[in-house]
Structure 1
């Protein structure tokens, strides 16, 4: 593989960079240091909240680009690169619709914090994996004084069958994305990981031929079209595997790290 000219690497987090126990490969940070030494721009691209990602990668946060909330919010060195917020009236309409669906829980994802209605402790514990800043409020429809990056909806039986059919007619007008087995994310029509990646490519004058991406779920699909070196994990959704040019070992086998080892070796002339 001609990896020596790679200038930008973007990876999804859950189901991709992290294993099923939410652990990084023991080799990840040494590999990152070598990539950084070779002037590779490294981005983590996730449906997770920026504050959560920054905490998870705290030791290298000043050298990572954070593509958070599925591309709605991009931050580098604590500076905003891109904010693609939902109009507040649209966010409230989505929440009203979600309230009509049995078994659906909602997170209103603001730039400042994530908001949930006073909820069962189990749901709070669940979202704490993905959100560092969380505020419990009496009524999501009364939240103001923040920029709303997306509305995240959760259903225990599955998002693709139990939530998506109620919102997929909005696709095009909005970005409606199944981002995990239980999650549906709804964001501004221009908000996506792929568009965020395109913004970075333009900012750094990096071509798709010099870009590598990794992903496993439907919110990673448009990233696959933005990079010459597009990898679906072995555990990826079938549509992601179809869109990607290559396949990496599963997240539980630390497939991202295995490919990054090849990249580093290529850059070091090995």
Structure 2
């Protein structure tokens, strides 16, 4: 396969580039340096918080693009490329409705920090994986002095079959996405990884034909439409496998890095 025209590679994190322990393979950095030497830009595309991604990629944080919060916040070298925040009124309506879903926990994702008003251990164990800046507050509805990028619902019963079913009406004016087995994300209508990818392509003058993407879950679906080289992980959701043109080995087998080596010519 001819990878010679590739200028941009965007990869999801959990279930994709990261292993099942949510760790970045030490093999990634040497391959990344080879890609950088070829003038290829790398983008971390994730439902994770921006600050979490900055720390995850600390050695190269000034060299790569961050498409955080499912594309709601996209930045390069500290410069914002795209911010898709929800109005305060909409955010508060969503919080009130989310509280009616039994057995779930809520993360209010602001530009400054993430907010939680429940500290149950099973919930916080999940929060600390994806959010490095977290503030515990008495009541999420009292938070008004931030820009709200996302409401993340942690649904340990399974988001696709449970909490996802409560927000059918919101799909007409918001982005409601099953982003993992236990996560449901609700964002601005235009906020998704596909829109973020287009914004990055526009900023750097890169075409879909020069773009490669990797994903495993439903929040990666919109990215697949804007890259000629679209890869579903072997462990991906069936809808991603249907949408992607190509297949990579599972994240347990370091599938993304294996493809990146081919792009780098190693």
Q: Match for residue 95 of structure 1?
A: 95
Shift of 1:119: 2.3
How many residue pairs align between the two structures? 266
Report 1:76-115 matches (<5 A).
76-115=76-115
Q: Does 1:14 align with 2:14?
A: yes
Return 77-86 or 210-219, whichever deviates more: 77-86
Shift of 1:49: 0.2
Where structure 2 has 5 or more consecutive residues not aligned to the other structure, the ranges are none
Q: Does 1:235 align with 2:231?
A: no
Distance 1:90 1:182 in 2: 23
Shift of 1:144: 1.5
Q: Match for residue 132 of structure 2?
A: 132
Say which SS state the counterpart of residue 158 (structure 1) adopts.
coil
Distance 1:10 1:22 in 2: 18
Distance 1:126 1:76 in 2: 27
Q: How big is each residue's C-alpha offset from its partner over 1:150-197, in whole Å with a ceiling of 9 and x where there is no partner? A: 000011110011111111222141000000000000000010000000
Q: Match for residue 24 of structure 2?
A: 24
Shift of 1:25: 2.2
Distance 1:150 1:81 in 2: 17
Distance 1:127 1:15 in 2: 16
Distance 1:41 1:258 in 2: 17
Shift of 1:124: 1.6
Q: Does 1:201 align with 2:201?
A: yes
Q: Match for residue 163 of structure 2?
A: 163
Native 8 Å contact 2:105 2:118 kept in 1: no
Distance 1:67 1:169 in 2: 27
Distance 2:119 2:132 in 1: 17
Q: Match for residue 219 of structure 2?
A: 219
Say which SS state the counterpart of residue 175 (structure 2) adopts.
strand
Say which SS state the counterpart of residue 2 (structure 1) adopts.
coil
How well do the aligned residues superpose, as a CA RMSD in angstroms? 0.9
The list of structure 1 runs, each at least 4 consecutive aligned residues, that deviate by more than 2 angstroms after superposition, is: none
Shift of 1:21: 1.1
Report 1:166-181 matches (<5 A).
166-181=166-181
Q: Match for residue 59 of structure 1?
A: 59
Say which SS state the counterpart of residue 150 (structure 2) adopts.
strand
TM-score normalised over the length of structure 1: 0.97
Distance 2:103 2:46 in 1: 24
Q: Match for residue 192 of structure 2?
A: 192
Say which SS state the counterpart of residue 82 (structure 2) adopts.
strand
Say which SS state the counterpart of residue 100 (structure 1) adopts.
coil
Q: Match for residue 119 of structure 1?
A: 119
Q: Does 1:3 align with 2:26?
A: no
